Amino acid sequence: MLLSKSCEYGIRTALYLASQPQKEFIPIHVIGEMLGVSPHFLTKILQHLTQEGIMQSLRGPRGGVALARSPSELRLHEIVIAIDGPGLFTECVLGMPDCGEGQPCPLHERWSQAREQVFAMFSELTLEELGRRIVEENLRITDVTSSSLTRNT
Protein backbone atom coordinates (compact mmCIF):
# COMPACT_ATOMS: atom_id res chain seq x y z
CA MET A 1 0.00 0.00 0.00
CA LEU A 2 1.36 3.36 -1.04
CA LEU A 3 -0.27 5.41 1.73
CA SER A 4 -1.42 4.54 5.26
CA LYS A 5 -5.15 4.57 5.99
CA SER A 6 -4.66 7.70 8.08
CA CYS A 7 -3.02 9.42 5.16
CA GLU A 8 -5.84 8.42 2.83
CA TYR A 9 -8.38 9.89 5.22
CA GLY A 10 -6.32 13.04 5.68
CA ILE A 11 -6.04 13.63 1.96
CA ARG A 12 -9.71 12.94 1.31
CA THR A 13 -10.66 15.36 4.08
CA ALA A 14 -8.46 18.03 2.53
CA LEU A 15 -9.99 17.39 -0.88
CA TYR A 16 -13.47 17.62 0.61
CA LEU A 17 -12.71 20.92 2.33
CA ALA A 18 -11.19 22.26 -0.87
CA SER A 19 -14.28 21.33 -2.84
CA GLN A 20 -16.71 23.10 -0.51
CA PRO A 21 -18.03 26.38 -1.90
CA GLN A 22 -18.23 28.15 1.46
CA LYS A 23 -15.00 28.03 3.41
CA GLU A 24 -16.54 27.64 6.86
CA PHE A 25 -15.54 25.22 9.57
CA ILE A 26 -16.99 21.76 8.91
CA PRO A 27 -17.75 19.45 11.85
CA ILE A 28 -15.58 16.36 11.88
CA HIS A 29 -18.51 14.00 12.33
CA VAL A 30 -19.92 15.24 9.02
CA ILE A 31 -16.68 14.41 7.25
CA GLY A 32 -16.38 11.10 9.05
CA GLU A 33 -19.87 10.11 7.97
CA MET A 34 -19.02 10.95 4.38
CA LEU A 35 -15.76 9.00 4.45
CA GLY A 36 -17.29 6.08 6.31
CA VAL A 37 -14.84 6.34 9.20
CA SER A 38 -15.30 6.85 12.94
CA PRO A 39 -15.31 10.54 13.90
CA HIS A 40 -13.04 9.81 16.87
CA PHE A 41 -10.42 8.27 14.64
CA LEU A 42 -10.72 11.03 12.11
CA THR A 43 -10.40 13.60 14.90
CA LYS A 44 -7.00 12.21 15.79
CA ILE A 45 -5.77 12.44 12.23
CA LEU A 46 -7.06 15.96 11.68
CA GLN A 47 -5.78 17.06 15.04
CA HIS A 48 -2.33 16.07 13.89
CA LEU A 49 -2.77 18.00 10.64
CA THR A 50 -3.86 21.00 12.72
CA GLN A 51 -0.69 20.78 14.80
CA GLU A 52 1.29 20.60 11.58
CA GLY A 53 -0.25 23.87 10.41
CA ILE A 54 -2.15 22.35 7.51
CA MET A 55 -5.60 22.64 9.01
CA GLN A 56 -7.21 24.81 11.65
CA SER A 57 -9.92 23.86 14.10
CA LEU A 58 -12.56 25.56 16.18
CA ARG A 59 -14.44 24.06 19.10
CA GLY A 60 -18.05 24.62 19.99
CA PRO A 61 -21.12 25.31 17.90
CA ARG A 62 -20.35 26.22 14.29
CA GLY A 63 -16.93 24.72 14.96
CA GLY A 64 -15.09 22.06 13.01
CA VAL A 65 -12.04 21.97 10.80
CA ALA A 66 -10.93 24.05 7.84
CA LEU A 67 -7.81 24.44 5.78
CA ALA A 68 -5.26 26.56 7.60
CA ARG A 69 -3.95 28.27 4.49
CA SER A 70 -5.31 29.32 1.17
CA PRO A 71 -6.03 26.28 -1.02
CA SER A 72 -3.90 27.90 -3.68
CA GLU A 73 -0.88 27.44 -1.42
CA LEU A 74 -1.54 23.92 -0.23
CA ARG A 75 -0.56 20.72 -2.01
CA LEU A 76 -1.17 17.09 -1.15
CA HIS A 77 2.45 16.10 -0.66
CA GLU A 78 2.47 18.21 2.50
CA ILE A 79 -0.22 15.98 3.94
CA VAL A 80 1.60 12.81 2.90
CA ILE A 81 4.77 14.02 4.59
CA ALA A 82 2.93 15.23 7.70
CA ILE A 83 1.23 11.86 8.26
CA ASP A 84 3.39 9.15 6.65
CA GLY A 85 6.69 10.99 6.76
CA PRO A 86 8.97 11.79 3.82
CA GLY A 87 10.14 8.20 3.33
CA LEU A 88 8.04 7.54 0.25
CA PHE A 89 9.78 10.37 -1.56
CA THR A 90 13.29 9.74 -0.33
CA GLU A 91 13.99 6.13 0.55
CA CYS A 92 15.32 3.18 -1.42
CA VAL A 93 12.55 0.92 -2.66
CA LEU A 94 14.42 -2.08 -1.23
CA GLY A 95 14.97 -0.36 2.12
CA MET A 96 18.73 -0.17 1.86
CA PRO A 97 20.04 2.67 4.02
CA ASP A 98 22.92 3.78 1.85
CA CYS A 99 21.43 3.25 -1.60
CA GLY A 100 22.30 6.18 -3.81
CA GLU A 101 24.38 7.18 -6.78
CA GLY A 102 27.49 5.83 -5.09
CA GLN A 103 26.05 2.48 -4.03
CA PRO A 104 22.92 2.00 -6.14
CA CYS A 105 20.63 -0.96 -5.74
CA PRO A 106 19.49 -2.72 -8.92
CA LEU A 107 16.25 -0.73 -8.95
CA HIS A 108 17.72 2.64 -8.00
CA GLU A 109 17.54 4.28 -11.39
CA ARG A 110 14.03 3.13 -12.17
CA TRP A 111 12.67 3.89 -8.73
CA SER A 112 14.13 7.38 -8.83
CA GLN A 113 12.09 8.03 -11.95
CA ALA A 114 8.91 6.41 -10.66
CA ARG A 115 9.29 8.21 -7.32
CA GLU A 116 9.51 11.50 -9.15
CA GLN A 117 6.25 10.77 -10.90
CA VAL A 118 4.60 9.81 -7.61
CA PHE A 119 5.81 13.03 -6.05
CA ALA A 120 4.51 14.99 -9.03
CA MET A 121 1.11 13.37 -8.54
CA PHE A 122 0.95 14.82 -5.04
CA SER A 123 2.64 18.13 -5.68
CA GLU A 124 1.78 19.48 -9.13
CA LEU A 125 -1.79 20.52 -8.45
CA THR A 126 -2.80 22.82 -5.61
CA LEU A 127 -5.82 22.10 -3.46
CA GLU A 128 -7.53 25.01 -5.17
CA GLU A 129 -7.16 23.36 -8.58
CA LEU A 130 -8.15 19.97 -7.20
CA GLY A 131 -11.19 21.43 -5.46
CA ARG A 132 -12.33 23.08 -8.67
CA ARG A 133 -11.94 19.86 -10.62
CA ILE A 134 -13.86 17.88 -8.03
CA VAL A 135 -16.80 20.25 -8.41
CA GLU A 136 -16.64 20.69 -12.18
CA GLU A 137 -16.01 17.05 -13.08
CA ASN A 138 -18.01 15.61 -10.16
CA LEU A 139 -15.05 13.53 -8.99
CA ARG A 140 -15.43 10.96 -6.23
CA ILE A 141 -14.01 11.43 -2.73
CA THR A 142 -16.79 9.97 -0.56
CA ASP A 143 -17.55 6.36 0.29
CA VAL A 144 -21.27 6.89 0.13
CA THR A 145 -22.99 8.45 -2.86
CA SER A 146 -24.02 12.05 -2.37
CA SER A 147 -27.62 11.11 -3.12
CA SER A 148 -27.75 8.70 -0.20
CA LEU A 149 -26.38 11.43 2.02
CA THR A 150 -29.05 13.95 1.11
CA ARG A 151 -32.02 11.64 0.97
CA ASN A 152 -31.28 9.65 4.10
CA THR A 153 -34.43 8.97 6.08
Output the furthest CA–CA distance in the chain (Å, rounded): 63
Part of the chain binding DNA (CB under 7 A), chosen from 42-50, 72-80, 120-128, 143-151: 42-50
59 binds DNA (CB under 7 A): yes
Nearest residue (CB) to DNA, 6 versus 20 = 6
Contact assessment for residue 52 and residue 85, using Cβ atoms and an 8 Å cutoff: no
40 binds DNA (CB under 7 A): yes
Under DSSP, is residue 53 helix (H, G, I), strand (E, B) or coil? Answer: coil
Question: What are the phi and psi torsion angles at 37 (to 5°)?
Answer: -135, 150
* Binder of DNA out of 14, 15, 17, 46 (CB under 7 A): 46
Q: Which residues bind its own copies (CB under 8 A)?
A: 1-3, 5, 8, 11-12, 15, 76, 87-88, 91, 93-99, 103-108, 110-111, 113-114, 117-118, 120-121, 130, 133-134, 139-141, 143
Q: For residues 49 and 36, what is the distance between their CA atoms, to the nearest angstrom?
A: 19
Q: For residues 140 and 43, what is the distance between their CA atoms, to the nearest angstrom?
A: 22
Size of the site for DNA (CB under 7 A): 29
Question: What are the phi and psi torsion angles at 116 (to 5°)?
Answer: -65, -40
Closest separation between CB of residue 95 and DNA, Å?
A: 9
41 binds DNA (CB under 7 A): yes
